[in-house]
Chains A and B, each alone.
Chain A
Amino acid sequence: MIEIADAAWTGFATLFSAQVFLYLMLGIVVGMFLGIVPGLSGLTGMGLLLPFAIGQPPEIAFAFLLGMYAVTTQTDTIPAVLIGVPGTAAAQATYLDGYPMAQRGEAGRALSASYFASIWGTLIAAGMFILLLPFLRGATKFFAAPEYFALAVVGLIIAGSLAGDSILKGLIAAGLGLAMSMVGFAPSTGAIRASFGWSYLWDGLPLVPVALGLFAIPEVIDLLTRRRSISDRAEVRGGLSAGFFDTIRHFWLMARCSVIGCVCGVIPGLGGSVAEWFSYGHAVQSSRKKNPQFGKGDIRGVIAPEASTAAQKPGALVPTIALGIPGNAAMALLLGAFLMTGLRPGPEMLTTKLALTFQMTWTIVVANLIAAVLCLVLQRYLVLLCYIRATIIAPMILCFMAIGAMLATYDIGDLVIFGIFGAVGYVFKHNNIPRVPLLIGLVLGGLAEGYLFITLNRYGPSFLWERPIVLAIGLIIIGTIGWKVWSRIRAQALRARIVDVPGRGGKS
C-alpha cells in the first residue's frame, strides 16, 4: 500500500516538473481548440500530436497526448450549448438539453454545470482506478501468453460487435485490421507478407498515417464540403455558482453516470458517445417521477452525459495500461505510443512503472481541472473559434495532418498510405462500416500473433481447454456475440409485431 502511495506521489510530482507541465499545458491548449471546432476530436488530435510526442521521454509524451485528449470533451460542450452544434460526437446528448437552456438565457449555468460534472466524473473514475489497482496488480500475475492472446481476441471481438449497428460489419472491420497487421515481416519466421514488392511495407503498416487517414481525412473532406461557418451567436453570462450547486444537488445521478462512463471506457469499442447516451438514458429513466424536462432544457440532461464522457477516459486507460487492450481508437493510438516509446503495457506498468501509470491518471484529472478554469474564464472568447470558416480551418488542418503523417518514417510512402487509408476511411464512414475495430485490429494484431506463436510453441493447442482464464474469456466471447445476435433478433421481432398491428401503417 505504501508502494502505491509512493508511486502516486511520484507521478503527481513528475507532472508538475517544469518541462512536463509545459507540455501538459501545450496539450491542453491544442485539445481545447480541437474540442471547440466542430468536426475535429481528440482522436484527430491524438493522430496529429503522436508524431511530435515520439522521441520525447514517456513522462513528457504522455502528458502532452493525454493532456490534449482529456480536454476535448470538455470544450466540445461550448458549441453544443451555445450554438447547437456539438463539437465532437460525444457532445450530442449534451446538446439536447444544453442548447434549449442557452436559448432561455441559462447558457452560463449549463456550461458551468458541464465543467463541474466533467471534473467530478474524472475524479470519481480516477478514484475507481486507484481502488481497482491492488486487484489489477494481483490479477495480472495470473496472465501469461495464452491469456494475453485470448484477451487480444476478446478485445477485438467486443470492439467489432459493439461498434456500429451491424455486428457483421464490425467483425469484418476487426478482421481487416488483423489482416493489415500482418503486412511485413512475420514475427515467427521473418517471411515477408503482403508487401506487393514494396520495400516500404517490410516493416509493416505505420500506425500514424493509417489512423490519420482513416479518421481525420474523412472529417476534413466533410468540413470542406460544408464550407460554411456557424451563425446565430448566443450570449453567455454568469451562472457559475448555479452550475456548481446543480452538480451537488444531483450528485448521486452524477456518480452513477460516472460509473457507467468508466465501465463504458473499460469495454473495448464503446467509447465516449455510447457512454454519453447510456447515461442520458439512465438520467431520463431514473428521473421519471421528478418533473423532468428532458429535451427542453433539464440540467440533469447536461450533467449526466458530461460526467459520463469525462469518466470514460480514465476508464479506457485501465485495459490499455494493464492489459494492452485499447478501449477505443484514441487508446489504440496511445498503445502505439507505448510501443514507440519502448514501454510495454501489462504487469510492468502496475509494478515497476506504477509512477508513470499514476502520472497518466493525474494528467487526465489535472488537465480537466485546468481546462475547466480556462473555459470558465475564457468561454466568451473561445466560442469565437466556432465561427472560423471551414475554408480557413480545413486546409490548415489538412496541412498539419500531412506533416504528421510524414513523420512516421520520413518516407514518401507515409503519404501514399495516408491517402489510401483516407479513401478507405471516407468510404467506410459514408457506408456505416465502423472504423474503430479496424484500428484496434491493426494495433492488437501484431501482439496477438506474437502471443499465439509463443502459446502454440509452449503449450500447444491444449491451452484452449486447459487454462481456466482462457476458458472464461472464451465464454465472454461467446456471450458477447450471443447477446448481440439475440438483441438484434428481438428488435426485429418487435418491429415485425408493430408492423403487424392494424392501424400502425403495416399489413392491416
Chain B
Amino acid sequence: MRRLLTPGIFIFLTLLVAILSFMAQAATLSFGGRIFPMIVGTVLVVLISGQILMEIRTALTGDATKEIDRALLAQRLVSCAWVLGLLVGIWLFGALLALPAFLLIFMLVHGERLLLTMVMTVVMVLFLVFVVRDFLHITLPDGLVTGYFIR
C-alpha cells in the first residue's frame, strides 16, 4: 500500500476531487450554464482516471527504493517559505512596506553586503513611490494591518 503513496497519484486524485466538486456545483445551474462545464468535466474525469491507473501501474511495477534528496527538499521548502512569507507580508502590511522589507531581510539573511542591500532597498522604495504610484498612477492594495490604521 505504501508503494501507492506517490506524488503523481496524490496530484491526480486531488485534481479528480476538484473536478468532481466543480461538476457538482455546475449541475445546480440552468442548461445553458452547465452544458459546457459538464462536457469538459466529464472528459476530464475520464482522462484523469486513466492517468491515475497509469500512475498506479508505474508505482506497482517501478523501483520502490528511490532515494529522496533530503537536503534539496529542505532547500526547496525554505525557498517556498520565502515566497509565502512575501505574499503574507504584502497581505498584512501592503506592498509599499512589505516589498522593501522583504528585500532587506532576504539579502541580509543571505549574507549580502550591507551597502548593496541598502542601495537595493532604497531603489525598490523609489520604484514603488515614483514609478508605480506617481508615474503609472497605480494604487497598490493596502495591507490588512496598515489598512486598519489608515481607516
A→B interface (CB under 8 Å): 52, 168-169, 171-172, 175-176, 178-179, 182, 186, 188-189, 191, 193-194, 217, 220-222, 224-225, 227, 389, 391-392, 395-396, 398-399, 402-403, 406-407, 410-412, 415, 418-419, 422-423, 426-427, 431, 433, 449, 452-453
With A179-B40, A403-B132 given, is the CB distance from A419 to B8 under 8 Å? no
B61 within 8 A of A: no
**Residue pair B48, A392 in contact (C-beta under 8 Å):** no
**Residue pair A399, B102 in contact (C-beta under 8 Å):** yes
**Residue pair B40, A175 in contact (C-beta under 8 Å):** yes
**Residue pair B33, A188 in contact (C-beta under 8 Å):** yes
**Residue pair A396, B141 in contact (C-beta under 8 Å):** no
Q: Per DSSP, are chain B's interface residues mostly helix, strand or loop, or mixed?
A: helix
B84 within 8 A of A: yes
B120 within 8 A of A: yes
B99 within 8 A of A: yes
4 nearest A-B residue pairs (beta carbon): A191-B33, A224-B79, A391-B110, A189-B32
Residues in A with CB closer than 8 Å to B110 are: 227, 391
Q: Out of A178, A179, A194, A220, which one reaches B83, CB within 8 Å? A: A220
Complex alpha-carbon distance, A387 and B12, angstroms: 39
**Residue pair B138, A179 in contact (C-beta under 8 Å):** no
B→A interface (CB under 8 Å): 7-8, 11-12, 15, 19, 22, 25-26, 29-30, 32-33, 36-37, 40-41, 43-44, 47-48, 50-51, 54, 72, 75-76, 78-80, 82-84, 86-87, 90-91, 95, 99, 102-103, 106-107, 110-112, 116, 120, 124, 128, 132, 136, 138-141
CB distance from B49 to the nearest CB of A (A): 10
Q: Name the residue in A175, A188, A220 with the highest tally of chain B Cβ atoms < 10 Å from its Cβ.
A: A175
CB distance from B150 to the nearest CB of A (A): 14
**Residue pair B103, A176 in contact (C-beta under 8 Å):** no
Q: Out of B30, B44, B90, which one reaches A415, CB within 8 Å? A: B90
Residues in B with CB closer than 8 Å to A179 are: 19, 22, 37, 40-41, 44
Residues in A with CB closer than 8 Å to B99 are: 399, 402-403
Residues in A with CB closer than 8 Å to B72 are: 225
Complex alpha-carbon distance, A418 and B128, angstroms: 19
